[in-house]
Amino acid sequence: TQLLEQSPQFLSIQEGENLTVYCNSSSVFSSLQWYRQEPGEGPVLLVTVVTGGEVKKLKRLTFQFGDARKDSSLHITAAQPGDTGLYLCAGGGQGGSEKLVFGKGTKLTVNP
């Protein structure tokens, strides 16, 4: 059972465009994280959100945690080729668990 659904699975855009990636679940999480992974490397944490309705900004990236703590979105403004990578969302603390549940990822390609 895939507890976290990410969409879209693939996204190819031109430099300068805006985009939004979604992460949805029917389960409640105590935290939700976004990671970026580049080819041949391990995932790197971008942000953690823990409060329903929370919005965090990291330069051109805006992360939002849903009010019910079941979903999240990642919005990138004026995408650049350096944003290319696999974006993974992960939910933590479900039922007090020590584990993270990962989505399958969104592969983003930003063309110059």
Partner 1 sequence: NAGVTQTPKFRVLKTGQSMTLLCAQDMNHEYMYWYRQDPGMGLRLIHYSVGEGTTAKGEVPDGYNVSRLKKQNFLLGLESAAPSQTSVYFCASSYVPGGHEQYFGPGTRLTVT
Applying CB under 8 A, the span of 10-18, 33-41, 52-60, 62-70 interacting with partner 1 comes to 33-41
Between CA 16 and CA 49 the distance in angstroms is 26
* Binding residue for partner 1, selected from 13, 19, 28, 48, defined by CB under 8 A: 48
Local structure of 99: helix, strand or coil = coil
* Bridge partners (DSSP) listed for residue 7: 22
Q: Which of residues 51-90 bind partner 1 (CB under 8 A)?
A: 88, 90
112 binds partner 1 (CB under 8 A): no
Nearer to partner 1, 42 or 112 (CB): 42
Q: Assess contact for 31 and 50: CB atoms under 8 A.
A: yes
CA distance linking residue 41 with residue 59, whole number of Å:
23
Residues that bind partner 1 (CB under 8 A): 30-31, 33, 35, 40-45, 48, 88, 90, 92-93, 96-100, 102-105
